[in-house]
Structure formats: C-alpha cells, structure tokens
Amino acid sequence: MQLIFTTALAIVSAASAANCTWAQLTAMGDLLATNVTAPCATSLKMNTTISTAISNPYGVCQPACATDLNSLSSGLPVCTETASIAASIAQLSQICTSLASPTTNGGACTAGDMMTNLAVFQTPVWPNCSTAMNATMEAITPTSPAAIQTLCASATCTAFLSSMEKRLPNCVVAGDVSKNSVNIKSTFQSMFGCTRAAVGAPCTMIDMATVMTTAKTPVWANCSTFLKLPEGATIDKVMPKDDAMSLPAGFCTSTCPQYLLSMVKSFPPCTIDGKNISDPTELYTLCPNVKPDKSGAATFGVFTWSYAVVLVTAVVVLF
C-alpha cells in the first residue's frame, strides 16, 4: 500500500500540468473500465471494474486487491483532467493504511476503524445460522430473552459472532461528553455477546436476557396491594424514584423493599455505563432496615439508584 500512497501523492503534485491529450483521456477511460483481477473479484464477491471497486474502500483495500490499486495508481496519466481521480486515489491510500493498522489499545477510533465496524455489521450471516438470503447482523439481532437464548444455543451462530468480534478494532467512539463514549468491542458484546460478563465487566447480551426476564416478573402480591398497583405490575412501578423523601409512608416496613432486594440480586453482577446493576447499596441507604446484619451479606460497590430506575423502566417498555 505504500507504493499506492507514494504514487498517488506524486500524481496529485503533478496534476496541475498540461491538459490531457486525447490519447491520455482514452488511456484513463480504458484503465477505469478494466476489470479487477480474479483474486480481487473473489475477495469483493463480484466481478467488476476498478472504477466501481474503488467506491467500496473497505473491500478494495483488502490484500487481494493490492495489485489492482497499484496498477491504477501507476497507470493513471498525469494531466489536468486526472487530478480529481488522483486525489481520490491518495485519499483511498490513506484509508487503506488506516484499515491495515486497526486500533487495538482502546484508543480513539480512526476512520478505518469505523469502516471496519460498518463492514462487520454488513457481513452476510453464515447460511447455516440464518435462512434469510444475504441476511446481515441486523437480521439476526434478537429482540426477546427467548430469541437471545435461541441464538446463543446455536454453535454455528456463536462461531459466526465470534469471528465477527475478532475483526473489530478495540477503540472508543467519543460522545458529546466522556460518559457517552463507547467502546466498539464492548458495544458488540452488549448486542451479541453469548458469554456472561465477568463480575464488574460490561453486561453482555446474554446478561441482558436475564435482566429482561427479571424485569418482567410481577410484583409480589402483598407489595402490589400496599402500593395499590394494577394486576401484572412489574419492578419499574415499585422502584423509588430519587431518595427517601419520595417513598410512600410505610414503604420500608412493607414487603416492597424485600421484593426489590430479591429482584436486584437476581440481576447479573455486570455493569452498564460503569454501574453495577446488581448492587443493592442504595436500597440499603433508602431503607436501612432491609440491610442484612454483618453475619449475613456481601458488600458491593456504589450503585446509582436513579440510573437503575431508568434502566429497568427502559427494559420493561422495550421488551
């Protein structure tokens, strides 16, 4: 790829030369209409011209197309009318360089990293994982706990997902504020991870299946009666919104805190946005009487209750 970059820059620097002759224009047309080599066509999964191929930077930057790109950059006539094409080749060569060196240390994502991420999600699913023709990752995205369990029970599908994850760079897409920044690999795991996260690690898809199922569990009857909830109410109707001041009188001595405690402890010990979703610390703060004595319970890290309200409410609404 270095040859492409060097040649392209040379072409750009000389592009202000004389106007192209008829012979040069003809040569340029013939060059752009040339079919890609067999290895490149196989890699692209299509037999096409070089001019069409370069519109797919991720595909044409693969090693199988290196010969084609070198032929394009070295064969393009140096004259005024080829300047825009030469500039495109120079830009393409920079993309190829970026794609060849994906971020692996959790640093900021490059343009090449983002292109790789997009290409992964556009990769057709293996035929024995999905019966849909040319189905992509989006087509197999599960939308319910049962669908998640089915996907993760398929050895073929999990092997496909694993192969896709290995292609992803380990980089961070910056958000408007730091807390909104996301790691591409962690995001993939949250969408398609079939292995449970380690304690304190970001929740994976299979962890979220547990959260979804738990969040749909009906409120205990005696708690529901105390709060005068409709039949079938779930955890989002019970969780205190902010602090002790928002609790109805008698809440802490009712069965509701014990219900909440059992639910929160049913969540996997993973994190979302760095917060442990199975940590009952804030519930103990709101209702100290439900905290087990020293002989009883494990200690956990700090959990932001208002965040839990948002999370569980979102899960209940979406699923």
Close Cβ partners of 262 (under 8 Å, ≥ 6 residues apart) = none
Higher pLDDT, 181 or 239: 181
| Gap between the Cα atoms of 256 and 260, Å rounded | 6
What are 251-294's pLDDT values in tens digits? Answer: 999 999 999 999 988 999 999 878 888 998 888 888 898 888 75
Residue 188 has which token pair?
């993939």
* pLDDT tens, position by position, 109-139: 998 999 999 989 888 899 888 877 678 888 8
State which of 5-9, 232-236, 312-316 shows the largest mean pLDDT: 232-236
pTM: 0.70
Q: What is the pLDDT of residue 296?
A: 46
- What's at 62, amino acid-wise? Q
Please report the pLDDT score of residue 15 as a whole number.
45
Predicted local confidence at residue 203, as pLDDT = 94
Model confidence at 199: pLDDT above 60: yes
Going by C-beta distance under 8 Å and a sequence separation of 6 or more, which residues neighbour residue 317?
Answer: none
pLDDT of residue 291: 86
The reported pLDDT for the residue numbered 9 is 47
Per cent of the chain over pLDDT 70 is 83
For 284, list phi and psi in degrees, rounded to 5.
-65, -30
* Fold of domain 111-194: Beta-cryptogein (1.10.239)
Q: Which tens digit of pLDDT belongs to each residue from 292-303?
A: 875 444 333 333
Structure tokens of 85? 């094409």
- Evaluate if residue 245 carries a pLDDT over 50: yes
3-class secondary structure per residue, the chain: CHHHHHHHHHHHHHCCCCCCCHHHHHHHHHHHCCECCHHHHHHHCCCCEHHHHCCCHHHHCCHHHHHHHHHHHHHCCCCHHHHHHHHHHHHHHHHHHHHHCCCCCCCECCHHHHHHHHHHHHCCCCCCCCCCCCCCHHHHCCCCHHHHHHHHHCHHHHHHHHHHHHHCCCCEECCCCHHHCEEHHHHHHHHHCCCCCCCCCECCHHHHHHHHHHHCCCCCHHHHHHHCCCCCCCHHHCCCCCCHHHCCCCHHHCCHHHHHHHHHCCCCCCEECCEECCCCHHHHHHCHHHCCCCCCCCCCCCCCHHHHHHHHHHHHHHC
**Helices 111-122, 184-192: inter-axial angle, 10-degree rounding:** 20
Q: What pLDDT does residue 238 have? A: 86
Any idea of the CA torsion for 45, 49, 50, 55, to the nearest 10 degrees? Answer: -70
Q: pLDDT per residue over 75-100, tens digit each?
A: 988 888 888 888 888 888 888 988 88
**How does the average pLDDT of the chain come out, rounded?**
83
> Which residue ranges make up each domain of the chain?
2-100, 111-194, 217-318
Rg for the chain, CA atoms, rounded:
28
CA angle 208, 209, 215 (to 5 degrees): 85
